[in-house]
Each structure stands twice: as structure tokens, then as C-alpha cells.
Amino acid sequence: MLFVYNINPQKADKIPAVRHVDGTARIQTVNRQQHLLYYDLLHEFNKLTGVPVLINTSFNTRGEPIVCTPRDAIACFYTSPFDALVINSFLLEKNAAA
């Protein structure tokens, strides 16, 4: 995340989690040749939502160390407000009724 760019004001409401108070965002870009699976994920997310942006952040909850293993990820997931967790080709979702 080496670059900081101004967010188009007409699009800012679609990505509030990445917008800094000054209207900028630190971005990373990826193309298909660099990382096919990640690029395809972004492409599909854009088709579903109209937003070609995903947040890249550390994976941990307040007061806990950063996730380093699949076991850490699952423990963090079940103690967090996250709805779903993807690890490679596996999808875990919380039961909304629970």
C-alpha cells in the first residue's frame, strides 16, 4: 500500500471503510497475471456488488494477536462479529439464528 489517492466523491459512500477523513485511500492494485485467484475474487465481488474493492487488513480482534494459522482464524471468527470466513476453498458461516 504505497500509494494514496483521492477517492471520487461520487463513489465515496460505497467504500466508507477505506476512506480516510481527508477523502483519500491507500490502495493496492492487482492484475490477472499477478494473482489469478485474487483478481477473479475481486471481479466476482464487483459483479455482485458493483464495488471493485476489498479491504486488506490484519486479521485479529481487539486485544488478540494477529491470526497466523487456520486454527487461529477459526477461533477469531467464532469470537468476532464476522458473518463468514473463507480459508482457501472452504467457507464457514455463522448460523444467523444462534
More confident residue, 97 or 26: 26
User: Which tens digit of pLDDT belongs to each residue from 16-54?
Assistant: 988 999 999 988 888 999 999 989 999 999 999 998 888
Strand (E) positions, 1-98? 3-6, 24-27, 84-87, 90-93
Q: Which of 42, 31, 5 is closest to 20 using CA atoms?
A: 5
More confident residue, 56 or 75: 75
Average pLDDT (70-75) is: 95
